[in-house]
């Protein structure tokens, strides 16, 4: 059921780092993005895949993890992602990605969840550093980075209260809580 898959598809930021993800698995996930919608069917997205520890170690320090958890510096060694998919705009195809990368990211993360994996979109990326470290040619622009791995954290949905605050938090058991606005608050007509 798509509803169940979407409910389970929470952003995950702590993983069993020792569980590797195969390159072929990343290719299967990108194939879901390939088959997704694209404005004017321009398909300007390209992808850089990483699932080896050496490349992963170059990408990890350039990403922001859960900026709202101000006292958490991000996943420690042993809990870091096993793989990354970097979503790129090929500027020789189009100067704008529209919202294609959001659609692609969601397709990939839903596919990952179906395979028992989890992950997170990262808009907080030191783009220049990643481009340089991985030798990505300048015709490409980094739009989003997806981190992936076997989840090691529990995430639960909450309902945003009357104060309207939607900040996520982590409790003393390490459970990550994500408030969502009520349905009646978001349908305005
Ligand atoms: C476009 C976009 C960029 C995001 N960038 C980051 C990021 O840089 N770091 C991070 O930890 N989470 C990032 N997130 C994840 C959000 O924090 C997360 O979606 C939100 O807290 C709600 O949690 P949920 O995905 O479990 O519903 C991003 C999400 C989106 C859609």
Q: Which pLDDT score is estimated for 14? A: 98
Q: Which pLDDT score is estimated for 71? A: 96
Q: Which pLDDT score is estimated for 69? A: 98
Q: Which pLDDT score is estimated for 110? A: 98
For the entire predicted model, the pTM comes to 0.98
What number does the ligand 1 atom closest to the CA of 180 have?
27
pLDDT beneath 70: ranges in the chain: none
Contact 82, 150 (CB under 8 A): yes
| CB within 8 Å of 128: residues ≥ 6 apart | none
Q: Which pLDDT score is estimated for 93? A: 98
Q: Which pLDDT score is estimated for 106? A: 98
Give the Å distance between the CA of 107 and the centre of ligand 1: 15
Give the Å distance between the CA of 120 and the centre of ligand 1: 6
| CB within 8 Å of 71: residues ≥ 6 apart | none
Cross-strand partners of 119:
11, 148
Q: Which pLDDT score is estimated for 98? A: 98
Q: Which pLDDT score is estimated for 148? A: 99
Give the Å distance between the CA of 14 and the centre of ligand 1: 14
Query: In this structure, what token pair is assigned to residue 137?
Result: 């040619």
CA terminus-to-terminus distance, the chain: 27
What number does the ligand 1 atom closest to the CA of 66 have?
11
Residue nearest to atom 29 of ligand 1 (CA): 121
Q: Which pLDDT score is estimated for 27? A: 99
Q: Which pLDDT score is estimated for 39? A: 98
């Amino acid at each position: 059921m798509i509803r169940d898959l979407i409910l389970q598809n929470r952003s995950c930021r702590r993983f069993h780092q020792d569980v590797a993800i195969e390159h072929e698995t990343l290719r299967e996930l990108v194939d879901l993005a390939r088959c997704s919608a694209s404005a004017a069917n321009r398909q300007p997205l390209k992808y850089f895949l990483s699932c080896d520890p050496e490349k992963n170690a170059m990408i990890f320090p350039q990403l922001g993890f859960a900026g709202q958890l101000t006292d958490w510096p991000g996943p420690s060694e042993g809990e870091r992602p096993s793989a990354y998919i970097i979503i790129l705009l090929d500027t020789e195809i189009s100067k704008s990605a529209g919202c294609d990368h959001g659609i692609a990211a969601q397709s990939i993360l839903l596919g990952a969840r179906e395979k028992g994996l989890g992950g997170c979109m990262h808009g907080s990326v030191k783009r220049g550093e990643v481009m340089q470290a991985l030798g990505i040619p300048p015709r490409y622009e980094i739009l989003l980075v997806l981190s992936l791995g076997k989840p090691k954290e529990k995430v639960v949905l909450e309902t945003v209260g009357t104060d309207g605050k939607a900040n996520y938090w982590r409790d003393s058991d390490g459970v990550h809580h994500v408030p969502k606005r009520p349905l009646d608050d978001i349908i305005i007509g």
